[in-house]
Amino acid sequence: IFFTKLPKTAFCWWQKDSLYLARTAGLPLNEIANCSRAFLANQRRERRYLPERTTFRRPGLRLFADVINVPPSLEFHSDALFPLVQLTGVQRTTKGKIVGMDAATLTYDTLRFGEFEDFPETPEPVWILGKEYSALTEKDEILSDVTTRLWFTYRKNFPPIGGTGPTSDTGWGCMLRCGQMILGEALVCRHLGRDWRWAKGRKQREEYVSILNAFIDKKDSYYSIHQIAQMGVGEGKPIGQWYGPNTVAQVLKKLAVFDTWSRLVVHVAMDNTVIIEEIKRLCMPWLDLAGPCDQPAGAEELNGCLEGACALAEEETALWKPLVLLIPLRLGLSDINEAYIDTLKQCFMLPQSLGVIGGKPNSAHYFIGYVGEELIYLDPHTTQPAVEPCEDGQVPDETYHCQHPPCRMHICELDPSIAVGFFCRTEDEFDDWCMRIRRLTCKRGGLPMFELVDSQPAHMVSIDALNLTPDFSDSDRLERFFDSEDEEFEILSL
Question: Which range, of 81-90, 123-132, 466-475, averages the lowest pLDDT?
Answer: 81-90
Residue 406 has pLDDT above 70, yes or no: yes
Query: Among residues of the chain, what percentage have pLDDT more than 70?
Result: 61
Coil, helix or strand at residue 467 = coil
Residue 232 has pLDDT above 60, yes or no: yes
Residue 363 has pLDDT above 80, yes or no: yes
Mean pLDDT score, 190-202: 94
What pLDDT does 486 receive?
42
What pLDDT does 458 receive?
73
What pLDDT does 493 receive?
44
Beta sheet of 18-23, edge-to-edge order: 10-15, 18-23, 81-84, 109-112
Mean pLDDT score, 396-413: 91
What pLDDT does 358 receive?
94
Residue 112 has pLDDT above 60, yes or no: no
Residue 241 has pLDDT above 90, yes or no: no
What pLDDT does 68 receive?
30
Contact 321, 283 (CB under 8 A): yes
Q: For all residues of the chain together, what is the average pLDDT? A: 73
Contact 406, 366 (CB under 8 A): no
Cβ neighbour number for residue 7 with a 10 Å cutoff: 14
- Side-chain-side CA neighbours of 113 within 13 Å: the count stands at 19
Residue 148 has pLDDT above 50, yes or no: yes
C-alpha span between 231 and 227 (Å, rounded):
6
Q: Which residues are catalytic?
A: 174, 379, 381
Residue 301 has pLDDT above 90, yes or no: no
Of residues 152 and 107, more confidently modeled: 152
Cβ neighbour number for residue 460 with a 10 Å cutoff: 15
Beta sheet of 97-102, edge-to-edge order: 53-58, 61-66, 89-94, 97-102
Residue 354 has pLDDT above 90, yes or no: yes
CB neighbour list of residue 137: distance below 8 Å, 6 or more residues apart? none
Mean pLDDT score, 152-165: 93
Residue 18 has pLDDT above 60, yes or no: no
Residue 375 has pLDDT above 50, yes or no: yes
Beta partners for residue 268, in sequence order: 326
Mean pLDDT score, 378-396: 87
Return the domain boundaries, the chain. 2-112, 125-284+320-482
- Side-chain-side CA neighbours of 470 within 13 Å: the count stands at 15
Residue 75 has pLDDT above 60, yes or no: no
Question: Which range, of 52-56, 120-124, 156-160, 428-432, averages the lowest pLDDT?
Answer: 52-56
What pLDDT does 444 receive?
62
Among 222-226, 291-295, 316-320, the range of highest mean pLDDT: 222-226
What pLDDT does 145 receive?
96
What pLDDT does 240 receive?
87
Q: How confident is the model at residue 288 (pLDDT cuts 50, 70, 90)?
A: low
* 272 residue type, one letter: N
Read off the pLDDT of residues 415-437 as tens digits, 9 standing for 90 and up: 999 999 999 999 999 999 999 99
C-alpha span between 287 and 277 (Å, rounded):
10
* 22 Rama class: left (phi>0) / alpha (psi -120 to 50) / beta: beta
Question: Which range, of 47-51, 305-309, 315-319, averages the lowest pLDDT?
Answer: 305-309
Mean pLDDT score, 367-388: 94
What pLDDT does 440 receive?
87
Residue 314 has pLDDT above 90, yes or no: no
Q: How confident is the model at residue 201 (pLDDT cuts 50, 70, 90)?
A: confident
